[in-house]
């Protein structure tokens, strides 16, 4: 009886071991098969459907200052990958109002390429029919319409005391040098995509705004004169020393004091797309460092031309000031949406 029970126990143990091994191998096979299917699905795009070049704008209508993603998919782009292509925006009167160099967004082993750029109609652009053209040298490769819709902007009057009046109006070679440095940065279009997700506000989203994007400003100088400008970003009414965070992943291009904008930071996120942070009390990042979305980069303040503690947050797209809220509302490089648009 003891021998019989022992044989029975050994049989059960062997049976359980074999069953366990079978289930484990089967599970691993399913997992590897799923991974292989997922990889194949990600890599094998239906290029056979692309029998002619595609030019797409996402979205197809924008307000002044709102960015649009331009997608250009040639049938076969590898042979011409080194040629410079530019997206150019014309208003309904045929006047060029914005442009951006296209950058390589995707290329597979067979040479199928997708080129992308971000472009923003100026905040002063008039509503109406616009046209996006893809240019290479003197040739127009493709064109597609874009609608610019009407948007109303706030007007505000800002009185300046004698020191701020002098800061804004008095010529200064150092200010000129800083302005030229800023412009050289904003005109640069690299090739790195540091992040593609929607941006996040640099301070708490519910923070009160003391000025909005595109505000039409009148500066009242202490000497009785005045001047006008368009506000390029958003002003958050935060107390001094409030932590300021990077709105998206990127590379710090500038982190230093400037005469007019005080302690300033500029971060590159996408080719020709920069976020800007002005009037900081303290800078807590170094130039050429890499940051992630949400990293603390400085503390808010009231340095430079400022009437009180606040944070000025600005986005530039190929030198044009763009509405930061649109970058928070949607991802500038939504890969799934881009390829769906190409192959739909």
230 phi/psi in degrees, rounded to 5? -110, 130
Residues in the chain: 344
Share of the chain above pLDDT 70, in %: 85
The pTM of this model reads 0.84
pLDDT the model gives residue 334: 95
CATH top class, domain 155-329: mainly beta
Does residue 28 have a pLDDT over 60? no
In the chain, domain spans: 1-44, 49-151, 155-329
Q: What is the mean pLDDT of the chain?
A: 87
* CA–centroid distance for 201 within its chain: 12
* CA–centroid distance for 72 within its chain: 18
Does residue 32 have a pLDDT over 60? no
pLDDT the model gives residue 76: 67
Tell me, what DSSP letter sits at residue 112?
-
Classify strands 139-148 and 61-62 as parallel, antiparallel or unpaired: parallel
pLDDT the model gives residue 270: 96
Query: CA separation (Å) from 177 to 16, 191, 262, 303?
Result: 79, 26, 15, 19
Would you place residue 81 in the very low, low, confident or very high pLDDT band (cuts 50, 70, 90)?
Answer: low
Would you place residue 77 in the very low, low, confident or very high pLDDT band (cuts 50, 70, 90)?
Answer: low
Would you place residue 48 in the very low, low, confident or very high pLDDT band (cuts 50, 70, 90)?
Answer: confident
Helices (H), 219-334: 324-329
Would you place residue 82 in the very low, low, confident or very high pLDDT band (cuts 50, 70, 90)?
Answer: low
Does residue 151 have a pLDDT over 50? yes
Domain 49-151: CATH architecture, name and number where available? Sandwich (2.60)
Would you place residue 67 in the very low, low, confident or very high pLDDT band (cuts 50, 70, 90)?
Answer: very high
pLDDT the model gives residue 23: 40
Distance CA 133, CA 145 (A): 9
- Among 277, 302, 284, 96, residue whose Cα is nearest residue 203: 277
Tell me the DSSP string of 1-54.
-HHHHHHHHHHHHHHHHHHHHHHHHHHHHHHHHHHHHHHHHHH---GGG--S-E
Average pLDDT over residues 150-158: 94
Judge residue 155's burial from the number of C-beta atoms within 10 Å of its C-beta, 0-12 exposed, 13-18 middle, 19 or more buried: exposed
Interacting residues of 73 by C-beta distance below 8 A, sequence separation 6+: 50, 53, 54, 55, 56, 113, 114, 115, 342
Q: What are the tens digits of pLDDT across the range 233-249?
A: 999 999 999 999 999 99
Distance CA 314, CA 156 (A): 18
């Amino acid at each position: 009886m003891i021998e019989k029970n022992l044989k029975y126990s050994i049989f059960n143990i062997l049976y359980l071991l074999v069953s366990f091994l079978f289930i484990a191998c089967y599970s691993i096979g399913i997992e590897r098969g799923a991974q292989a299917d997922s990889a194949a699905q990600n890599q094998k795009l239906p290029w056979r459907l692309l029998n002619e070049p595609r030019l797409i704008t996402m979205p197809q209508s924008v307000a002044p200052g709102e960015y649009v993603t331009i997608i250009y998919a040639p049938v076969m782009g590898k042979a011409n990958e080194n040629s410079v292509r530019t997206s150019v925006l014309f208003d309904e009167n045929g006047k060029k109002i914005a442009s951006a160099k296209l950058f390589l967004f995707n290329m597979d082993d067979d040479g199928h390429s997708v080129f992308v750029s971000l472009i923003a109609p100026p905040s002063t652009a008039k509503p109406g029919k616009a046209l996006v053209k893809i240019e290479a040298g003197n040739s127009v490769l493709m064109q597609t319409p874009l609608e610019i819709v009407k948007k109303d902007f706030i007007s505000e009057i800002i009185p300046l005391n004698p020191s701020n009046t002098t800061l804004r109006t008095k010529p200064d070679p150092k200010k000129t040098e800083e302005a030229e440095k800023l412009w050289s940065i904003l005109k640069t279009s690299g090739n790195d995509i540091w992040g593609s997700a929607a941006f996040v506000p640099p301070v708490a989203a519910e923070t009160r705004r003391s000025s909005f994007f595109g505000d039409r400003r009148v500066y009242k100088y202490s000497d009785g004169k005045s001047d006008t400008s368009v506000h390029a970003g958003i002003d958050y009414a935060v107390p001094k020393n409030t932590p300021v965070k990077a709105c998206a992943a990127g590379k710090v291009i500038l982190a230093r004091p400037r005469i007019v904008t005080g302690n300033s930071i500029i971060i590159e996120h996408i080719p020709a797309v920069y976020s800007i942070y002005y009037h900081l009390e303290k800078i807590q990042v170094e130039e050429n460092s890499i940051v992630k979305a949400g990293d603390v980069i400085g503390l808010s303040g009231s340095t430079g031309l400022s009437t009180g503690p606040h944070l000025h947050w600005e986005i530039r797209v190929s030198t044009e000031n763009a509405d930061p809220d649109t970058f928070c509302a949607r991802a500038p490089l939504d890969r799934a949406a881009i390829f769906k648009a190409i192959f739909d």
